Structure 1
């Protein structure tokens, strides 16, 4: 599947990643440069034109976390969509030309050591810190406008572990 596959128009194609450790906890990161308790999220990122979605997911995972040691568990069946709130739409870097994001989510099992995580692997740092979190605690730590999409992702991917 590539970015040319069907999905709602007007939304930025994106991939999201849920990385489970051996204990069934998930990797979450606190957004770099963002303060507050609701700045945690799973890794995610844009898809380059013509890029295969799974390739984009592995690229984004490495760029944002330094993680390469994963085995695939599965993915969401369809695009999961969320709209940007007005404050994000006003940010020309993030909200430019899109009303939100459409995401295919991939689940992976982390098979490496925690020392593999390197938040400065790629030029633009996405996260300031990270931790392994209980899946049921994630929603309460995510920014409000992503919560419904995270509920859908969690409901669909939790069965893979």
Structure 2
């Protein structure tokens, strides 16, 4: 699976949420997430736990740590409760947990793009775009969609950040 991603710092959360709502044509889906990142030799491996229902996802992904639209390749498996907590213990013992990221995500769907407006504990407000590429789509088409949405949402190039939230938490 592939998508084109960008991540940016948000200075006016209320304004961004309103713009995203207009583009999506509906209210956000609110998701409380707790991500644990593990030590791995390449890429990133995280266990995402959904606070409300105890379910989760194990996600491995590879993407460059650069600002602006970038290709992300990933594999993901959904997990049912109560095995999520047990899996976290096993992964922590086997690989070592690197860091935890807790956030409240406002999810908007705009055509083939997932717009995430995140309030990250101890970090602040951020926005992610994930343009979900269709198998036949070129990377350049996904980048164009990302840039177009950045403009519509009022995201400036100087707001862009590289890496993951886990890289920003000290």
Shorter-chain-normalised TM-score: which range? under 0.3
In terms of Rg, which structure is larger?
A: 2
Return the structure number with greater strand share: 2
TM-score after normalising by structure 1:
0.28
